[in-house]
A = this chain, B = another copy of it.
């Protein structure tokens, strides 16, 4: 792993592409004329909900795990997460044939625990507090010698996420804007670096729930602000930027827009009705921005990373009924 937290460079991103090319899916771009008419722009959705493990997280985790030297890898990899990074890391470790140790809060949703179990990771449950998670993870690492793979504060992870945008640029040559959701900022950072590398004229707009807007506030203030008591159904976006992702986003984004919970639910329903895709609330945020915000998108070709599709059928039913 990188010793200092510098952004991944062009070589890191190109190498990520080669390294994970046959280990993750080349996801399709989905569009709908009727949705375009409704939103007033042409929307090209990179369907990362169809990615392995149901989210873009497979890209970064796989790149990180397959970057490890053999003698380091054989001791395994570890993380604390109740979300998509956990399943992605568990799958990447299984592919490489090394152990994965996942620290999860005892109240993690059944569907997420099952995903991690499916890939054979060893789960350690802990109290659902950040300090308990960190302490438990530290103990697991001390006991096993496993390598901690951070979900976003890690250049190799960001380089992996960048491949989603690289693919999209090849699939849709004439994009004017690129939108992605921001949680910890790993996906948006990868998108920003890929854009600078491959399509620098594309305008970058970050999107965040109004109830978890640490990135919006941080960019506005020009310094990293904490996420305080996030309130949003977008469970993947409750985390906060790191110094690394903050510095990348500050340098590259045109702006960040924030959206309401209502717009996210409406966007999720539009994705089901017009794109025929199941997306999780976090993935609905960029589509919600197209519904609710004006940042010069009218008549433009807009790329959107539909980041994931891991939502329980019951919860999905609730959103569709609204």
A-side interface residues toward B, CB under 8 Å? 28, 30, 33-34, 37, 47, 49-50, 54, 111, 115, 118, 269, 272-273, 275-279, 309, 312-314, 316-318, 320-321
Enumerate chain B residues within 8 angstroms of A118, measured Cβ to Cβ. Answer: 33-34, 37
A314 in contact with B309 (CB, 8 Å): no
A30-B50, A34-B118, A50-B28 are contacts. A313–B269 as well, Cβ < 8 Å?
yes
A276 in contact with B273 (CB, 8 Å): no
**Shortest Cβ distance from A88 into chain B, in angstroms?**
13
A316 in contact with B309 (CB, 8 Å): no
Enumerate chain B residues within 8 angstroms of A111, measured Cβ to Cβ. Answer: 273
A49 in contact with B320 (CB, 8 Å): no
**Residue from A115, A279, A313 having most chain B Cβ neighbours under 10 A:** A313
A49 in contact with B276 (CB, 8 Å): yes
Q: A30-B50, A273-B313 are in contact. List 20 more A-B contacts (CB 8 A).
A: A28-B50, A34-B118, A47-B276, A49-B276, A50-B275, A50-B276, A111-B273, A272-B278, A272-B316, A273-B278, A276-B277, A276-B279, A277-B277, A313-B320, A313-B321, A316-B317, A316-B320, A317-B318, A317-B321, A320-B320
Contacts A/B (CB < 8 Å), 16 sampled: A30-B50, A37-B118, A50-B275, A50-B276, A272-B313, A273-B278, A276-B309, A277-B278, A278-B278, A313-B320, A314-B320, A316-B317, A316-B320, A317-B317, A317-B320, A317-B321
- Beta-carbon nearest neighbor of A278 in chain B: B276
Enumerate chain B residues within 8 angstroms of A37, measured Cβ to Cβ. Answer: 118
Q: How far is the CA of A286 from the CA of B278 in the complex (A)?
A: 20
Q: What 10 pairs across the A-B complex have the smallest Cβ distances?
A: A276-B309, A317-B320, A317-B317, A28-B28, A49-B276, A276-B278, A313-B320, A317-B321, A272-B278, A269-B313
Enumerate chain B residues within 8 angstroms of A278, measured Cβ to Cβ. Answer: 272-273, 276-278
Enumerate chain B residues within 8 angstroms of A269, measured Cβ to Cβ. Answer: 313
Enumerate chain B residues within 8 angstroms of A276, measured Cβ to Cβ. Answer: 47, 49-50, 54, 277-279, 309
**Shortest Cβ distance from A55 into chain B, in angstroms?**
10
Enumerate chain B residues within 8 angstroms of A320, measured Cβ to Cβ. Answer: 313-314, 316-317, 320
Enumerate chain B residues within 8 angstroms of A279, measured Cβ to Cβ. Answer: 276
Enumerate chain B residues within 8 angstroms of A273, measured Cβ to Cβ. Answer: 111, 278, 312-313
Q: How far is the CA of A37 from the CA of B119 in the complex (A)?
A: 12
- Beta-carbon nearest neighbor of A34 in chain B: B118
**Shortest Cβ distance from A90 into chain B, in angstroms?**
12
- Beta-carbon nearest neighbor of A54 in chain B: B276
- Beta-carbon nearest neighbor of A313 in chain B: B320
Enumerate chain B residues within 8 angstroms of A318, measured Cβ to Cβ. Answer: 317
